[in-house]
Amino acid sequence: MDHKIYILIVEDELEVMDALVKDLEKFETFFPVETANDATEAEEVIDYILDHDHKIGLILCDHVLPGKNGVDLLIELQQNPKTAISKKVLVTGQAGHEDTIMAINKADLDHYIAKPWTEDELEKVVRDELTDYVLSNEDNLLYYMQVLDAEKISDAMRKNKMTDH
């Protein structure tokens, strides 16, 4: 793989961050995880990853952050074509009605995970979102098959007119 697809976690509480990182361990070999404590750091990390020709497949973002809040960050990322394709998930217990509506309408939010989450739930969301990301953005689907939704990837390959040669 000449480029890597990153998972970015934006979360200011250390314990929550640790729990998220731990629950995503099984994806790490294929999707390296980067973390940021606030929106500013997130932007730096994103710039760094994109500057090195890697991609951001999934952003898991808390809402209440010091400085700019999560929903605003996601909306901003939605306006950048390079991060508009990234899957965006809000992981929060405290986003109000209006913020959530904003996130859906303006940041094209892909999923909302309410705290506290279960490991299975998180894993499923991450797997589904990354599968969708890979299906619409990557050519080499086989590489990701064992860590993502293999059934869905197989079906996409079936419809892709794959040939023998």
Partner 1 sequence: MKAFSKDALAIIIGVIGFIIPFFLSIPGLSEAGHVALSIFIIAAVFWMLEPVPIYATSMLVILLQVFFLSKQGVLFPEVSAEYAPNAYTDFIGTLANPIIILFLGGFVLADAAVKFDLDKNLTRILLKPFGSKPKFIILGLMIVTGLLSAFMSNTATTAMMMTVILPIIAKTDIDDPMRIGLALSIPFAANIGGIATPIGTPPNAVVIGALSTQGIDIAFTEWMVLAAPLVLIVLGFSWLILLWMFKPKTNSVPMDLKGSFQKNKSAVLVYLVFAVTVVLWITESLHGVGSSIIALIPVAVLSLTGILDKDGIRQLPWEVLWLVAGGISLGISMESTGLAEWIVTSIEWSSFSTLFMIIGFSLVAIVMSNFLSNTVSATLLIPLAVSLATSGVAGEGFSLILISLVIGVSASMAMMLPISTPPNAIAMSTGTLKTKHMTRAGLAIGLFGLLMVTLYALFYWPLILN
- Cβ-based nearer residue to partner 1, 69 or 131: 131
- CA 60/CA 152 separation, integer angstroms: 22
Nearest to 162 by CA among 143, 140, 147: 140
- CA 27/CA 138 separation, integer angstroms: 17
Tell whether residue 158 is a contact of partner 1 (CB under 8 A): yes
Tell whether residue 155 is a contact of partner 1 (CB under 8 A): yes
Q: How far is the CB of 37 from partner 1 (least distance, A)?
A: 34
- Record the tokens describing residue 64, joined without a space: 């209440």
Tell whether residue 22 is a contact of partner 1 (CB under 8 A): no
- Cβ-based nearer residue to partner 1, 44 or 155: 155
Show the binding pattern over residues 111-150: x = contacts partner 1 (CB under 8 A), - = does not: -------------------------------xx-xxx--x
- Cβ-based nearer residue to partner 1, 114 or 162: 162
Tell whether residue 151 is a contact of partner 1 (CB under 8 A): yes
How is the beta sheet containing 55-61 ordered, strand by strand?
33-36, 5-10, 55-61, 87-92, 111-114
Q: Name, in order, each residue with C-beta under 8 angstroms of 15's C-beta and a sequence gap of 6 or more.
A: none
Tell whether residue 162 is a contact of partner 1 (CB under 8 A): yes
Instruction: Tell me if 40 sits within 8 A of 10, measured CB to CB.
Output: no
- Tokens 């023998």 locate to 164
Q: Name, in order, each residue with C-beta under 8 angstroms of 152's C-beta and a sequence gap of 6 or more.
A: 131, 135
- Cβ-based nearer residue to partner 1, 60 or 135: 135
Q: How far is the CB of 121 from partner 1 (least distance, A)?
A: 18
Interface with partner 1 (CB under 8 A):
142-143, 145-147, 150-151, 154-155, 157-159, 161-165
